[in-house]
Structure 1
């Protein structure tokens, strides 16, 4: 069971004992920490393998993370239709092919990873998905992670950077509740801004909270359904594409 969020992922570190015993069990804590370190070290090694494979083919990969319902798939559908370049998607969900079917219908190649009780994708899952998907050279790869803002912060998948998506329906204090994810983010997208007149959400305060854990992080408010702010998102992707291409030369 995962020590971070309590999921049933058999590959995740076991939960630690937090209650006190009258007899000494200090070794339990040491063994658990060692196991966590080994699992993350193995994941990081596989992530570097993925990163090298993507770099060899000049593929720009983004790891999209969010809570359930923040609008990741809707944003991806819109992005696929609007950007004039090859896009591939690795879909992570606990069950169903629903999101992968939506992505395919939007015009991108997609492969689905169902994690069952698992709360996140890991580098090994992405490694196998890459071989199944075989993204084209010079394309963009979006990895839509399982809806969860805890465990995905710990697991490098070999991506260029993590993109955290939240929506105005989730609460202004999200960055303070999940600081590790926001600290790991290369970009924060605040989605569903068309609903701002109808919800209690302070855009400026949320942005300030995000920068309190990740100073200088870029934040883009947008509406995937209405199209507001999407050009800034596309410009950001174009800038990252230019940076990666310049590094490859």
Structure 2
């Protein structure tokens, strides 16, 4: 596995670099998502389930962002998926220059879907364009249904919300009614999936949606 250690964050020209990255990804016909969410929301477990569901249908590659360690990338690599680890060295988010460096070490030919699993955070990660086509936010039942109004920017910028750990709903005071009311007040067009990455519930629906978006990109 290739690993990138980020020694210095370069804030300037993030959008310009993101646009350059995006142009290359689009030329290659690659659909790209920025997968975001709090630590412990279940992003990596969800991604594992998606890989298992789609591995025989599309070519999926992952850029794995984390402060330190390669633990999540090791999990992804175990499925035979091409993965690049980006360690931010303490920074709370990925940036476009980090994605560009990772892309330079990826064989992009033949890739259908690029998943950028961002650092666990609902604040900083909302501010940086990573060349994605869409942001996908993972919110777990155990975090509480009040998070959209507490962190509105993330949910306003996301095209998809995945509500994870629904198998635990009965053990919490999480309100689906409040969640839908609040999320729609922020982002009327957001698409919501209710899943349990642990049990596999709802994974087929998420995978089918992503496969559809990949096929649309191929046609384009």
TM, length-normalised to structure 2? 0.92
Is 1:72 matched up with 2:52? Answer: no
Aligned partner of 1:47 in structure 2 is 18
Q: Provide the rounded CA distance (Å) in 2 between the counterparts of 1:12 and 1:135.
A: 24
1:41-120 aligned at under 5 Å gives the runs: 42-83=13-54, 84=56, 85-120=58-93
**What's the CA shift for 1:130?**
0.7
C-alpha distance in structure 2 between counterparts of 1:147 and 1:138, whole Å: 25
Q: After the TM superposition, which parts of structure 1 deviate over 3 Å for at least 4 consecutive aligned residues?
A: 9-13
CA distance in 1, matches of 2:181, 2:215: 29
Distance in 2 (alpha carbons) for counterparts of 1:181 and 1:207: 15
Alignment size in residue pairs: 212
TM-score (norm 1): 0.82
For 2:204 and 2:39, the matched residues in 1 are separated by 24
Higher relative contact order (CA 8 A, sep 6+): 2
For the Cα contact (< 8 Å) 1:81–1:107, is it kept in 2?
A: no
Alignment of 1:1-249 (within 5 A): 11=9, 39=12, 42-83=13-54, 84=56, 85-247=58-220
Q: Hey, what does 2:3 align to over in structure 1?
A: none
Contact 2:17 2:96 in 1 (8 A): yes
Report the alpha carbon displacement of residue 242 of structure 1 after superposing the two structures with TM: 2.7
Cα offset, 1:238, TM superposition: 2.1
Q: RMSD of aligned C-alpha atoms?
A: 1.5
Mark the runs of 5 or more structure 2 residues left unpaired by the alignment: 1-6
In structure 1, what is the Cα distance between the partners aligned to 2:178 and 2:35? Answer: 23
- What's 1:19 paired with? none
Please identify the structure whose Cα radius of gyration is greater: 1
Q: Residue in 1 aligned with 2:4?
A: none
Cα displacement string for residues 150-201 of structure 1 (whole angstroms, at most 9, x for unaligned residues): 1111100111110000100001111001100000001000001111111111
